[in-house]
């Protein structure tokens, strides 16, 4: 089933803003969402935005079970968001390591709002609205950026904070057993 590959940095589809979904509960949408969960699982990601598989729609999925693999990340329930929006709840900005399925083997430090409110429709067309913080807020902002054609390196303030995971690990920039979730 999986002829869908995650597009990689350099593909112009990743820097093209996506368009609103017109029929959130249609059969096509259902199919796309199923494919996205499958791709996210295949690639071991914690989040995926539709443009990452070449689908130019404002749609994202994410979710993470609490695990030792990501000691700094709390669990995030599996979530589908169609036509999402968001706003910061405070001015507080926190730097944190990120990785992206579209930029394999690399990580960088990205500043994100620590507390946000987001909203959107789920796969049944029901409105979801949540106030979240920390890792959950970071995942959302990362995926939302994909919908605007923005990849996380475009938000890194100092490119000294960007590199290959193995080299960053070897240089002690982050813990050897601390995986950075890929989104």
Q: Which residues are known to be catalytic?
A: 143
CA 21 vs CA 53, 56, 72, 107, 124: distances in Å: 16, 9, 33, 31, 13
Least distance (Å) from Ni ion to the CB of residue 40? Answer: 11
Site string for Ni ion, 109-138 (x = CB under 5 A): ------------------------------
Parallel, antiparallel, or unpaired for β 162-164 and 59-64?
Answer: unpaired
CA distances from 101 to 91, 132, 150, 176 (A): 28, 23, 14, 20
CA gap 82, 173 in Å, rounded: 36
Pick 51 or 120: Cβ nearer Ni ion: 51
Structure token digits, residue 75: 């669990």
Residue with smaller CB distance to Ni ion, 100 or 109: 100
Nearest-CB residue to Ni ion?
Answer: 100
Shortest Cβ 132–Ni ion spacing (Å): 18
Decide: is 183 part of the binding site for Ni ion (CB under 5 A): yes
Of 179 and 183, which has the nearer Cβ to Ni ion? Answer: 183
Q: How many residues bind Ni ion (CB under 5 A)?
A: 2
The site string for Ni ion over 83-112 (x = CB under 5 A, - otherwise) reads -----------------x------------
Interface with Ni ion includes 145 (CB under 5 A)? no
Q: How many CB atoms lie within 10 A of CB 48?
A: 27
Number of H helices, E strands in the chain: 3, 8
For residue 102, the minimal CB distance to Ni ion (Å) is: 5
Q: How far is the CB of 183 from Ni ion (least distance, A)?
A: 4
Sheet containing 103-113: which strands, arranged edge to edge?
93-100, 103-113, 162-164
* Spatial CA neighbour of 181 closest among 74, 57, 56: 74
Q: Rank residues 29 and 49 by Cβ distance to Ni ion and give the closer one.
A: 49
Residues contributing to the site for Ni ion (CB under 5 A): 100, 183
């Amino acid at each position: 089933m999986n002829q869908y590959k995650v597009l990689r940095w350099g593909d112009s589809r990743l820097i093209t803003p996506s368009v609103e979904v017109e029929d959130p509960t249609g059969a096509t949408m259902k199919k796309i969402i199923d494919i996205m969960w499958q791709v996210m699982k295949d690639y071991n990601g914690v989040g995926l935005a539709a443009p990452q598989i070449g689908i130019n729609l404002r749609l994202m999925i994410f979710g993470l079970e609490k695990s030792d693999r990501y000691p700094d990340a709390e669990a995030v329930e599996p979530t589908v968001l169609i036509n999402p929006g968001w706003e910061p709840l405070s001015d507080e900005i926190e730097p944190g390591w990120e990785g992206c399925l579209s930029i394999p083997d690399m990580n960088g430090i990205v500043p994100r709002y620590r507390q946000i409110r987001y909203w959107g429709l789920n796969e049944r067309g029901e409105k979801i609205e949540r106030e979240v913080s920390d890792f959950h807020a970071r995942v959302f902002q990362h995926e939302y950026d994909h919908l605007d054609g923005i990849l996380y390196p475009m938000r890194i303030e100092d490119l000294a904070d960007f590199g290959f995971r193995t080299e960053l690990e070897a240089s002690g920039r982050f813990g050897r057993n601390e995986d950075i979730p890929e989104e």
